[in-house]
Amino acid sequence: MLEIKIGTRGSPLALAQTEIIKREILSSWPDLTIKVIPIKTSGDKNMSPFLKNNNNKGMFTFEIENALLNHEIDFAVHSLKDLPVKINPDLPVIAYSRRGNPFDALIGIEGVIGSSSLRRRLQLEKLFPDSKIIPVRGNINTRINKLDSGEFSITGLVLACAGLERLGLENRITKIFNEDEIMPAPGQGILACQGRKNENYFYLDTLHNKISGFCAMAERSFSCALNAGCNVPVGAYAKIVDDRLILKGLYIDEDNKKFYRGEISGNFNQAEELGKILAKEIFIS
Q: Active-site residues: which are they? A: 81-82, 119-120, 137, 143, 230
Question: Is the Cβ–Cβ distance between 145 and 100 less than 8 Å?
Answer: no
∠ CA 81-83-85, rounded to 5°: 95
CA–CA distances in Å: residue 201 to residues 78, 196, 222: 16, 9, 28
Q: What would the 3-class secondary structure string for 82-144 be?
A: HCCCCCCCCCCEEEECCCCCCCEEEEECCCEEEECCHHHHHHHHHHCCCCEEEECCCCHHHHH
- Cα separation of 46 and 171, whole Å? 30
- Cα separation of 251 and 115, whole Å? 18
Q: Reduced to 3 DSSP states, what percent helix, strand and coil does the chain have, rounded to the nearest 5?
A: 35, 25, 40
- Cα separation of 245 and 273, whole Å? 11
- Cα separation of 76 and 113, whole Å? 33
At residue 222, φ and ψ (nearest 5 deg) are -60, -50
Smallest Cα–Cα separation from 216: which of 258, 188, 257, 248? 188
